């Protein structure tokens, strides 16, 4: 039953593909014909004079119609007596005689966008009669502004309430994420993304990271690919061609209720372009871009690094450091580097008594017993090359380019659009292979078979190939850098090793690549059948298969000392080097159909009803094979393994889910001004036991078009005014396993003689089976989020000034949270629906559009804010210092927002002994690392931080003295768009920023000087640490936590001092475009319709309060791929319409 | 479209019934006896092994680990909070925790519950019996550690009443353990029909029943509850007797090993080397006679290891070799006339490093290390030919043994240290979960405690077999009422002495002291060698700073505050908070 029933589905998908292809081939030559009675005209905007492409021109009384080309020009067969009807969305229609002067027909924008149609769930609605909070971004908002790495990025700064983030700048591994109106749950709530009516499925599992030993199921950690990239639907979108997008609608409130159980994070509806009316239009869009290294933390150079070590150790030893300590000697050497640039420890040296520099003597000696050796057992030399790894690894002329070609047209019975894209994103990484290549083909067809039947196909094939050095995934290149003395290459040009530390550049270049190839196909067949004048049936079948193939190679690298005389052991060795292959196959099916009824009763009652059902199913299939000990690394192949069976491992994961749904919507409008809408969805999920499987979600909304009231007729100020309100429910099933109600069993087998945990019964260790350590859950259900929204839309001064304001409250009353039960249960209890999260906020947009002479301009601003509070976590109230991520180490705290940061209250820097004494007086019993004043040890000193004893218990402790310091999610997210057009010149900018965010990176090298003595250091503290002669320094006394002291731990406790918890506010010039459209007169001669050239820049400028050097948009943790430098992006672009 | 019609039908719920594809689940399991066997295999991971008895609080584990290790008692030199009585109630421990004992109980309950609906119960009776054996095994562990605990006999869910219920009485926990074992016994095979060696036999369940009944019988006896004690001691007698008359087991006493049989029992491995490329060539044997594990019919239930398929993966040899023992223990060994050191004319005193080893029963020199002798310890210092010749002595651990001078006791252990060339962690001797010697000692003690006396005949068929296994040729007399009477000995003390000597470092001592209600042994200072006026004083002059008692013995631990409350461990405080109905053990509130 399971599989057989879906064979027809696959077949339908396949036939729709064939049919679409066939249709295209057949109709391609059937272009519009010119007859002898043809008339030609041009349509322009009445205000701007710009041509209007795509306007429809019809002969009145006939079905004949054409549309204007890019230059606004049309040609139509019409008798001189005929009347031409001209229409274009958003403009007032016109009728004109075919014999009149058609050379400059001017259309005026409709005073209100009454006709503007917005895509909503299962259908469209007029914008004027919308009652929900729906934001729309159309192609013109993001096209012709330079490359967009992900269509979701187009929403940034355009839609209030939507926050788009990427955590990395690595090509293809940006890890896109976005939130609509902030957090909805402590469990993940990705927005539901829908392309042309079909949801983009989110992979249930991520693949384990390349190099990980297969065998660990990763379903406990959904979304983790191990590459630092969350596999959410936003990332699946990164291969979608932004040039194919017509519009994006974001459903933010109860308007999403029609998507029921998956709409908790909001719904994003993407509509792709179709063939427009008129002649075939061939368009080319191309860009060439270059990346410039953006913000990144600065590194200390050799002498700074060495001085810092000595100062830190001097402080830790209270002025009397142990000068024979290995790192003190290393720091001291760094300040007395010999002129040769390195010390070969295989030979002896003498110390010049005056300069302190070493002089080469040249008697052979064992490196470990060389008096010049600070004490390293494994290194062969000491080098002083003052290497700045940021410059060594990153920069170069990273070039990216994108080429788009599209062909679109429409005949009377059918329309088509074919588009192709090639894109190659280059990398700032100067070593190894790193790129992201995209290949797209999309074909959209529609044809009218009879008056009643219309069929549409939309087929997209996307290929996304990501190439990256494997060393970037294992932390060696993107971790903390080596100390600055490292050479980047040996004397002979070979890779350099210092003991067991290795040049990161060579690891990137020689360590092998990880090649990921993603193939995604979206095959979508739609049908519309008009049963009566008022009743239609719309059906869709979609099959979206995707395949990800990863080939990861970790090659053996040979290393040398600087002189090139001693080869170090290989790293990785042949036994550790590996080749891994992993393939993920996912098939997503969707069948949906609905009836749509629209009618007007009398003159006052407009009614529309939609009702239908849907079935979806997703099948996930992953397997992986890995082998170490390869013959050699030249050819990556699983066949070349020469190891025993323990060097090979395989793993498989399979899963599936299905969702069945009924849905419906009812719209009623009285006199077009009192609007009412109800929607509902009844969802049944395979994740639940049959008896608890189905659940209803529903919502209501209403609108009042005040502007249409009689009392508004006389005023001149308002051109639009509408009040909206909504209430609705949406669901979230994240946090619920795929087979939650079925108890699974784990099997354990021996992995060889070292596997002592498997009993030996009979001749051999046995296989044993255990029930899962997690209980099945029979009584938990979807989180249900209640959305409440009130909104106001307005237009003033003939819509020169337009705006919206929305206020919302969301309550997740049955949030899934973990509850600790007595251990006698004997297994981990599933999360239960017993938490409560409240989210509330507001968002507003304001736009001004006008013209001065030939200069048209617009200004638009958006501001939004949201707050949340964990109203109930069943009493969980223990604060922990730092960022709370919901783990047991840093649990969420009831009464505070998700992602709260708690810390001490900073009281200032200790500048006198009296203060130090006062701090030491409350030092006893502290648990924050304050060294005690004992004997000759001073405890808190001048130059250290001090904190407030918030709870007045006479000691400094956590959690007792912790206070709330803010949250990591941004607040007051704003953007400002400016646009100018003048005589073919267009100019636009987008500024974007965040008003408030608390950034706590954690106690790490990025924030704390000399957390690790053996690594490179940031330069943020250089010259800015407290010393008796520099008492107003930003940073406290340098320390390395040596001599049993923990001054760093103490001084760098998360606190309200901005040295630890930074202010993440910023404003940034997100986008700047300067374009020029070459006058029509010049290009007509070469048979072109439109040529535009432009320059665009992204992230060109910013002002940020972050002081450790990292980009303000970078994520909090700055780990692994998040360390990939952000960049400024300069683009030259060309648009040509043939 | 067909789909819409499809959904109009009720049957489409089926399209949403999806079962796991890559995991076993209840939906497709519990169909054959083999399914039950695989589930029962998991219970064998609950058996104690070396980690539980000869290691104290491994790094990274809560301080409540290893409750049965001798390191919690008085025989070895470890000063920890439990033996000192200075520990406090922890928030959590790794026994009373999800993943600990309660998960094990859940898993046994799970199998028993699944078996209830299996159509042919006879086919799976053995695995149900194993489940009951191990449920009893885990409950006994909880009983020994915490006393009364909740009785959970079904796989419960968080909304079960039992989750927040009170503890069952101590008696009902014991009754349940006995009932489970009695249920299991008829459905388990005799050792001779065991099939897969290592599985639970009828004898194992009977032997375990004797352990449980003796434990609880004496616990009750020494806490004034004679009636309860007697009924339990009767069970202990009959259960141990059932093993003894079954003729399935015998003490390991091959003639070829002579008086070293007991020593080599514990390090018996199958032939084979685990060190490779070592020179001189390694002897594949684990004992001088080249005996293999098949020669051992003493282990009634063993946690089995094998060098090729399952190594112990604990550094047993180099943890146990030279491990510090106390004088409290050393003085327990009888002289070969069967009398204790304070009564025997054969005792040679403490004047030299090895004087006290002279004229003692043989187990002393095979369990402990004697100054001047040669010892081998696996990796790097293995036996070459078991001849004790010059080549072999050259490969010994440090040459002629000298007690270590590390502020330690001066008494050193060799039990569990292999002599064959095993690499660290690669030893593969079996761990005796239950061995026949214990059953014999259980019998003797139960008979004595039940009746207040024991006949020579009963002693001869039990305790004396153990005592004389390696003391046949040195003239050591059997324990008898006459020996006791003639020398002013105490029969109970002698029975306990025998048990302590025979079973030390096997996880019995601390629990024995608890059931005997023996505060005095816990509270005695831990002593080392006699220093004042002995060869140790001249050899180790620096030990002069170490505290000594009036007899010149080193005091290695004098903080012995073990008190009445310490006979039971505290329930982790978080659990008491989550379920106040549990209450806390007396003295820990």
Tell me the CA end-to-end span of chain A in Å, nearest whole number. 53
**What pLDDT does residue A1051 have?**
95
A96 touching chain B per CB within 8 A: no
Q: Where are the domains of chain B?
A: 1-31
A743 touching B (Cβ < 8 Å): yes
- Is A659 within 8 Å of B16 when comparing Cβ atoms? yes
Average pLDDT over residues A1126-1130: 92
pLDDT of residue A211: 43
Q: Which residues contact B510 (CB under 8 A, 6 or more apart)?
A: B67, B68, B69, B70, B72, B73, B83
Please compute the mean of the pLDDT values over residues A618-622 and round it to a whole number.
87
CB neighbour list of residue B455: distance below 8 Å, 6 or more residues apart: B481
pLDDT of residue A423: 94
> How many other C-beta atoms are found inside a 10 Å radius of the C-beta of residue A375?
12
For residues A699 and A727, is the Cβ–Cβ distance under 8 A?
A: yes
Closest-CA residue of B relative to A619 is B21
Contact B38 A746 (CB under 8 A): no
Residue among A609, A590, A607 nearest A537 (CA): A609
What's the pLDDT band for A401 if we cut at 50, 70, 90? Answer: very high
pLDDT band at B530 (very low <50, low <70, confident <90, very high): very high
* pLDDT, averaged across chain A: 86
B57 — pLDDT class (breaks 50, 70, 90): low
Q: A593 and B311: CB-CB below 8 Å?
A: no
Q: Is the pLDDT of residue A36 over 80?
A: no
- By C-alpha distance, the chain A residue nearest B109 is A826
Beta bridge partners of A808: A789, A841
B441-500 pLDDT, tens digit per residue, is: 999 999 999 999 999 999 999 999 999 999 999 999 999 999 999 999 999 999 999 999
| Beta carbons of B3 and A662 less than 8 Å apart | no
B564 by Cβ neighbours in 10 Å (0-12 / 13-18 / 19+) ranks as exposed
Between A209-213, A771-775, B216-220, the lowest mean confidence (pLDDT) is in A209-213
Cβ–Cβ below 8 Å for A825 and B311:
no
DSSP H or E run through A835: strand A832-852
pLDDT over 90 at A413, yes or no: no
A124 touches chain B (CB under 8 A): no
User: Which of A5, A662, A767 is facing B7, going by the closest CB pair?
Assistant: A662
A660/B38 touch (CB, cutoff 8 Å), yes or no: no
For A62, the token pair is 């006939």
Residues of B in contact with A767 (CB under 8 A): 38, 41
List the single best residue of A771, A778, A834 to mutate versus B (max B Cβ within 10 A). Answer: A771
pLDDT tens digits, B180-222: 999 999 999 999 999 999 999 999 999 999 999 999 999 999 9
DSSP-derived secondary structure for A928-990? S----EETTEESS-TTSEEE--TT-SSS--TTTT-EEEEESS-EEEEEEEEEEEETTEEEEEE
- What is the residue-averaged pLDDT of chain B? 91
Q: Which of A168-182, A221-235, A856-870 has the lowest mean pLDDT?
A: A221-235
Do A615 and B307 count as a contact with CB atoms less than 8 A apart? Answer: no
What's residue A90's pLDDT?
Answer: 66
- Above 60 in pLDDT, residue B11? no
Looking at per-residue pLDDT, the higher value among B547 and A773 belongs to B547
B281 confidence band (pLDDT: 50, 70, 90): low
Higher pLDDT, A568 or A80: A568
Distance CA B541, CA A124 (A): 97
Asked if A1097 and A1071 touch (Cβ cutoff 8 Å), the reply is yes
**HSE of A1109, CA atoms in CB hemisphere, 13 A:** 17
**ipTM here:** 0.93
For residue A553, give how far its alpha carbon lies from the nearest alpha carbon of chain B (Å): 27
Residues of A in contact with B109 (CB under 8 A): 826
DSSP assigned state of A108: P
Helix pair angle (B226-245, B436-451), 10° resolution? 140
Cβ B156–A742 below 8 Å, yes or no? no
Dist. CA A151–CA A159, nearest whole Å: 13
Burial of A46 (0-12, 13-18, 19+ CB in 10 A): middle
Q: Is A761 on the interface with B (CB under 8 A)?
A: yes
- Residues B387-421 have pLDDT tens digits of 989 989 998 988 899 998 765 899 999 999 999 98
Question: Of A613, A747, A822, which is closest to B24 when you measure between CB atoms?
Answer: A747
Phi, psi angles (nearest 5°) of residue A39? -120, 150
Closest Cα in chain A, distance from residue B102 (Å): 4
Q: Please state the separation of Cα A711 from the chain's center in Å.
A: 48
Question: B15–A759: do the CB atoms touch at under 8 Å?
Answer: no
Given this model, what pLDDT does residue B176 score?
Answer: 98
CA distances from B236 to B48, B173, B229 (A): 21, 17, 10
Q: Do B426 and A828 touch (CB under 8 A)?
A: no
Res. A13: pLDDT tops 60: no
- Inter-CA distances, A643 with A214, A639, A651, A1095, B307, Å: 17, 11, 18, 55, 22
CA gap B186, B126 in Å, rounded: 9
Residue A206: pLDDT band with limits 50, 70, 90:
very low
- Yes or no, beta carbons of A769 and B39 under 8 Å apart: yes
Tell me whether residues B156 and A824 touch, CB distance under 8 A: yes
Q: What pLDDT was estimated at residue A47?
A: 64
In angstroms, how far is CA B497 from the centroid of its own chain? Answer: 17
Task: Annotate A546-585 with three-state secondary structure.
Answer: EEEEEEEEECCCCEECCCCCCEECCCCCCCCCEEEEEEEE
Which residues in B227-329 belong to E strands, given as ranges? 299-303, 324-325
Q: What is each CA distance from A523 to A234, A460, A542, A589, B398, in whole angstroms?
A: 19, 7, 6, 10, 78
A826 to chain B: closest CA residue: B103
pLDDT band, residue A628 (cuts 50/70/90): confident
Q: Is A821–B578 a contact, with Cβ atoms under 8 angstroms apart?
A: yes
Dist CA B310 CA B306 (whole Å): 5
Residues of A in contact with B102 (CB under 8 A): 823-826
pLDDT digits (tens, 9 = 90+) for A665-710: 999 999 888 999 999 999 999 988 888 889 999 999 999 999 989 8
The chain A residue lying nearest B93, using CA atoms, is A823
Please state, in angstroms and rounded to a whole number, the distance separating the CA atoms of residues B134 and B130.
6
pLDDT of residue A438: 95
Instruction: Measure CA A279 to chain center.
Output: 39
Helix axes B226-245, B202-221, angle to 10 degrees: 160
Query: In the prediction, which pLDDT does A1129 show?
Result: 93
CA distance B529 to chain A (A): 37
Pick from A40-49, A1105-1114, B224-233: least confident: A40-49
User: For position A232, what pLDDT does the model report?
Assistant: 66
Q: Do A767 and B41 touch (CB under 8 A)?
A: yes
pLDDT interval class at A224 (50, 70, 90): very low
| Interchain proximity A686–B312, CB inside 8 Å | no
Residues in chain B within 8 Å Cβ distance of A217: 22
Residues 765-804 of A with CB under 8 A from B: 765-771, 773, 775, 779
Give the pLDDT confidence score for residue A210 in this predicted structure: 43
> Looking at residues A641-648, what average pLDDT do you find?
81
pLDDT confidence of residue B274: 64
Q: Which residues of A touch B309 (CB under 8 A)?
A: 750, 752-753, 760, 764-765
Q: What are the residues facing B310 on neighbouring strands?
A: B306
Helix pair B436-451, B202-221: axis angle to 10 deg: 40
- Residue corresponding to tokens 């002013």: B488
Best to test chain A binding among B20, B37, B198, B273 (most A CBs inside 10 Å) = B20
Omega prior to B280 cis, within 30 of 0: yes
- pLDDT of the residue at A472: 84
Rounded-to-integer distance, Cα B84 and Cα B561, Å: 5
> Which residues of chain B neighbour A753 with C-beta distances below 8 Å?
306-311, 426
Using a CB–CB cutoff of 8 Å, tell me whether A13 touches chain B.
no
Tens digit of each residue's pLDDT (9 = 90 or more) over B284-333: 899 999 999 999 999 999 999 999 899 999 999 999 999 999 999 999 99
Higher pLDDT, B17 or B291: B291
Find the Cα–Cα–Cα–Cα dihedral A667, A670, A673, A674, rounded to 10°: -70
Q: What is the pLDDT of residues A816-835, one digit of tens each?
A: 888 888 999 998 888 888 89
Range in A19-23, A33-37, B115-119 the model is least confident about: A19-23
Q: Do A658 and B18 touch (CB under 8 A)?
A: yes
How many Å from the N-terminal Cα to the C-terminal Cα in chain B?
70
Quick one: B457 exposed, middle or buried, by C-beta within 10 A (0-12, 13-18, 19+)?
Answer: exposed
Q: Please say if the pLDDT value at position B424 is more than 50.
A: yes
Q: Which of A769, A778, A877 to probe by mutation at the B interface, max B CB count within 10 Å?
A: A769
Q: What is the SS3 assignment for B511-568?
A: HHHHHCCCHHHHHCCEEEEECCCCHHHHHCHHHHHCCECCCCEEEEECCCCCCHHHHC
Chain B residues within an 8 Å CB radius of A828 = 98
Window 804-863 of A: residues touching B by CB (8 A cutoff) are 819-829, 832
Does the pLDDT value for residue A651 go beyond 90?
no
Give the minimum alpha-carbon distance from B299 to chain A in angstroms, rounded to a whole number: 14
């Amino acid at each position: 039953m399971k599989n057989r029933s879906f064979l027809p589905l696959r077949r339908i998908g396949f036939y729709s593909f064939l049919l679409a292809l066939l249709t295209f081939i057949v109709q391609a030559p059937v272009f519009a014909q010119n007859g002898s009675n043809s008339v030609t005209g041009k349509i322009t905007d009445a205000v701007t004079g710009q041509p209007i492409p795509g306007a429809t021109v019809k002969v009145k009384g006939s079905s004949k119609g054409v549309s204007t080309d890019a230059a606004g020009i049309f040609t139509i067969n019409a008798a001189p007596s005929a009347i031409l009807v001209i229409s274009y969305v958003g403009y007032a229609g016109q009728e004109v005689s075919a014999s009149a002067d058609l050379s400059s027909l001017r259309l005026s924008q409709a005073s209100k966008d009454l006709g503007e149609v917005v895509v909503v769930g299962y259908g469209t609605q007029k914008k004027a009669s919308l009652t929900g909070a729906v934001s729309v971004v159309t192609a013109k908002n993001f096209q012709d502004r330079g490359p967009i790495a992900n269509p979701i990025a187009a929403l940034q700064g355009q839609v209030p309430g939507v926050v788009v983030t990427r955590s990395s700048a690595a090509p293809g591994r940006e890890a896109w994420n976005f939130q609509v109106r902030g957090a909805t749950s402590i469990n993940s709530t990705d927005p539901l993304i829908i392309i042309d009516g079909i949801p983009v499925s989110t992979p249930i599992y991520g693949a384990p990271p390349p190099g990980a030993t297969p065998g660990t199921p990763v379903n406990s950690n959904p979304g983790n690919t191990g590459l630092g990239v969350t596999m959410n639907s936003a990332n699946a979108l990164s291969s979608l061609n932004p040039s194919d997008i017509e519009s994006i609608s974001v459903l933010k409130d109860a308007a999403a209720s029609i998507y029921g159980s998956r709409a908790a994070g909001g719904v994003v509806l993407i509509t792709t372009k179709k063939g427009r009316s008129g002649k075939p239009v061939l368009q080319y869009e191309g860009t060439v871009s270059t990346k410039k290294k953006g913000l990144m933390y600065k590194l200390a150079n050799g002498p700074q690094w060495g001085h810092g070590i000595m100062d830190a150790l001097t402080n830790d030893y209270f002025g009397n450091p142990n000068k024979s300590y290995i790192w003190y000697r290393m720091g001291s050497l760094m300040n007395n580097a010999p002129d040769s640039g390195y010390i070969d420890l295989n030979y002896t040296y003498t110390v010049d008594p005056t300069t302190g520099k070493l002089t080469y003597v040249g008697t052979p000696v064992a490196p470990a017993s060389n008096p010049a050796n600070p004490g390293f057992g494994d290194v062969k030399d000491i080098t002083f090359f003052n290497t700045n790894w940021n410059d060594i690894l990153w920069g170069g002329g990273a070039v990216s380019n994108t080429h788009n070609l599209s062909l679109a047209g429409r005949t009377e019975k059918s329309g088509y659009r074919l588009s192709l894209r090639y894109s190659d994103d280059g990398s700032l990484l100067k070593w190894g292979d790193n790129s992201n290549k995209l290949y797209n083909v999309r074909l959209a067809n529609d044809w009218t078979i009879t008056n009643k039947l219309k069929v549409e196909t939309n087929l997209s094939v996307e290929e996304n190939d990501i190439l990256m050095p494997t060393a970037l995934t294992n932390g060696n290149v993107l971790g903390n850098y080596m100390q600055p003395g490292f050479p980047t290459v040996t004397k002979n040009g070979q890779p350099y090793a210092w003991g067991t530390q290795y040049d990161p550049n060579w690891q990137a270049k020689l360590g092998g690549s990880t090649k990921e190839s993603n193939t995604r196909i979206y095959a979508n067949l739609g049908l519309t059948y008009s049963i009566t004048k008022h009743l239609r049936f719309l059906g869709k079948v979609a099959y979206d298969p995707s395949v990800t193939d990863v080939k990861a190679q970790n090659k053996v690298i040979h290393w040398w000392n600087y002189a090139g005389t001693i080869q170090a052991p290989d790293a990785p060795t042949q036994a550790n080097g590996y080749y891994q292959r992993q393939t993920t196959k996912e098939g997503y099916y969707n069948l949906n159909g609905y009836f749509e009824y629209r009618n007007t009763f009398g003159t006052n009652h407009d009614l529309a009803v939609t009702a239908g059902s849907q079935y979806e199913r997703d099948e996930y299939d992953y397997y992986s094979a890995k082998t170490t000990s390869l013959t050699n690394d030249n050819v990556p192949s699983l066949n070349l393994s020469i190891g025993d069976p323990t060097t090979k491992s395989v793993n498989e994961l399979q899963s599936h889910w299905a969702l069945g749904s009924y849905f419906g919507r009812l719209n009623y409008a009285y006199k077009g001004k009192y609007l009412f809408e109800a929607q509902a969805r009844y969802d049944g999920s395979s994740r639940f036991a049959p008896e608890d499987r189905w659940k209803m979600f529903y919502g209501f909304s209403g609108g009042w078009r005040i502007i249409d009231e009689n009392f508004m007729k006389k005023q001149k100020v308002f051109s639009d005014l509408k009040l909206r309100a909504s209430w609705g429910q949406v669901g979230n099933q994240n946090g619920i396993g795929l087979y939650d109600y079925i108890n699974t069993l784990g099997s354990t087998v021996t992995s060889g003689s070292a596997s002592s945990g498997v009993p030996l019964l009979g001749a051999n260790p046995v296989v044993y089976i255990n029930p899962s350590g997690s209980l099945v859950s029979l009584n938990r259900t979807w989180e249900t989020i209640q959305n409440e929204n009130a909104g106001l839309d307005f237009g003033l001064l003939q819509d020169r000034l337009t705006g919206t304001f929305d206020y919302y409250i969301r309550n997740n009353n049955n949030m899934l949270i973990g509850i600790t039960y007595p251990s006698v249960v004997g297994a981990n209890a599933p999360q239960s629906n017993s938490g409560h999260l409240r989210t509330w906020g507001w968002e507003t947009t304001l736009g001004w559009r006008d013209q001065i002479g030939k200069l048209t301009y617009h200004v638009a601003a958006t501001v939004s804010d949201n707050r949340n509070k964990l109203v109930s976590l069943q009493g969980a109230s223990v604060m922990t210092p730092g960022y709370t991520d919901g783990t047991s180490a840093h649990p969420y705290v009831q009464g505070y927002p998700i992602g709260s940061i708690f810390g001490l209250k900073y009281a200032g820097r200790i500048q006198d002994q009296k203060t130090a004494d006062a701090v030491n007086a409350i030092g006893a019993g502290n648990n924050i690392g304050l060294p005690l004043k004992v004997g000759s040890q001073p405890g808190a000193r001048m130059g250290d931080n001090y904190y407030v004893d918030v709870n007045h218990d006479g000691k400094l402790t956590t959690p007792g003295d912790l206070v709330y310091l803010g949250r990591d999610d941004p607040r007051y997210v704003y953007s400002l768009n400016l646009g100018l057009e003048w005589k073919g010149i267009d100019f636009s900018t987008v500024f974007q920023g965040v008003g408030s965010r608390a950034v706590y990176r954690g106690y790490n090298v990025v924030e704390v000087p000399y957390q690790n003595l053996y690594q490179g250091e940031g330069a943020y503290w250089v010259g800015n640490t407290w010393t008796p002669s520099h008492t107003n320094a930003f940073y406290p006394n340098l320390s390395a936590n040596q001599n049993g002291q923990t001054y760093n731990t103490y001084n760098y406790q998360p606190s309200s001092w901005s040295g630890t918890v930074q202010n993440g506010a910023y404003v940034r010039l997100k986008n700047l475009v300067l374009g020029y459209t070459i006058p029509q007169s010049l290009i007509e001669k070469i048979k072109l319709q439109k040529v535009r050239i432009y320059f665009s820049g992204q992230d060109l400028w910013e002002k940020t309060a972050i002081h450790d050097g990292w980009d303000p948009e970078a994520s909090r943790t700055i780990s692994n791929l998040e360390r990939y430098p952000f960049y400024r992006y300069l683009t030259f672009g060309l648009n040509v319409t043939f | 479209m067909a789909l819409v019609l499809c959904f109009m039908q009720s049957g489409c719920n089926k399209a949403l019934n999806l079962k796991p594809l890559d995991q076993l689940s209840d939906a497709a399991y519990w169909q054959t006896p083999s399914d039950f066997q695989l589930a029962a295999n998991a219970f064998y991971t609950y058996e104690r092994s070396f980690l539980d008895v000869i290691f104290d609080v491994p790094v990274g584990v809560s301080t409540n680990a290893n409750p049965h290790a001798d390191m919690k008692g008085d025989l070895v030199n470890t000063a920890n909070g439990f033996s000192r009585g200075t520990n406090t109630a922890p928030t959590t421990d790794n026994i009373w925790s999800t993943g600990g004992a309660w998960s094990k109980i859940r898993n046994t309950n799970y199998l028993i519950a699944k078996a209830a609906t299996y159509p042919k119960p006879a086919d799976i009776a053995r695995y149900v019996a194993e489940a009951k054996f191990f449920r009893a095994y885990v409950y006994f562990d909880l009983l020994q550690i915490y006393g009364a605990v909740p009785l959970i006999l079904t796989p419960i869910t968080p909304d079960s009443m039992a989750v927040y219920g009170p503890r069952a009485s101590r008696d009902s926990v014991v009754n349940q353990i006995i009932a489970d074992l009695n249920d299991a016994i008829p459905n388990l095979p005799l050792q001779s029909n065991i099939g897969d060696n290592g599985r639970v036999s009828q004898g194992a369940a009977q032997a375990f029943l004797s352990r449980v009944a003796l434990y609880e019988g004496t616990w009750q006896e020494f806490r004034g509850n004679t009636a309860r004690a007697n009924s339990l001691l009767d069970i202990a007698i009959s259960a141990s007797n059932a093993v003894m008359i079954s003729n399935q087991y015998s003490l390991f006493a091959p003639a070829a090993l002579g008086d070293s049989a007991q020593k080599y029992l514990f390090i018996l491995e199958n032939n084979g080397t685990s060190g490779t490329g070592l020179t001189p060539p390694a002897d594949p044997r684990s004992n001088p006679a080249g005996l293999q594990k098949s020669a051992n019919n003493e282990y009634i239930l063993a946690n089995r290891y094998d060098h090729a398929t399952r190594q112990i993966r604990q550094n047993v040899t180099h943890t146990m070799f030279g491990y510090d023992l106390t004088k409290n223990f050393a003085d327990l060994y009888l002289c070969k006339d069967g009398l204790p050191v304070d009564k025997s004319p054969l005792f040679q005193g403490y004047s030299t490093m090895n004087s006290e080893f002279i004229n003692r029963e043989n187990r002393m020199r095979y369990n402990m290390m004697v100054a001047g002798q040669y010892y081998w310890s696996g990796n790097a210092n293995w036996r070459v030919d078991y001849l004790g010749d010059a080549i072999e002595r050259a490969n010994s651990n440090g040459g002629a043994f000298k007690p270590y001078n590390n502020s330690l006791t001066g008494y050193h252990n060799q039990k569990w240290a292999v002599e064959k060339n095993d690499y660290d962690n690669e030893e593969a001797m079996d761990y005796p979960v239950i061995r026949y010697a214990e059953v014999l000692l259980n019998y003797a003690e139960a008979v004595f405690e039940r009746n207040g006396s024991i006949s020579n005949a009963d002693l001869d068929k039990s305790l004396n077999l153990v005592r004389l296994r390696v003391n046949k040729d040195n003239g050591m007399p059997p324990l008898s009422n006459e020996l006791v009477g003639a020398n002013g000995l105490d029969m109970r003390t002698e029975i306990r002495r025998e048990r302590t000597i025979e079973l030390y470092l096997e996880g019995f001592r601390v629990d024995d002291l608890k059931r005997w209600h023996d505060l005095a042994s816990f509270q005695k200072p831990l002593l080392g060698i006699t220093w004042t006026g002995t060869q140790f004083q001249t050899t180790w002059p620096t030990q002069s700073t170490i505290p000594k008692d009036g007899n010149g013995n080193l005091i290695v631990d004098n903080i012995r505050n073990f008190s009445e409350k310490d006979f039971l461990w505290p329930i982790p405080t978080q659990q008491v908070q989550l379920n106040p109905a549990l209450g806390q053990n007396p003295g820990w509130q």
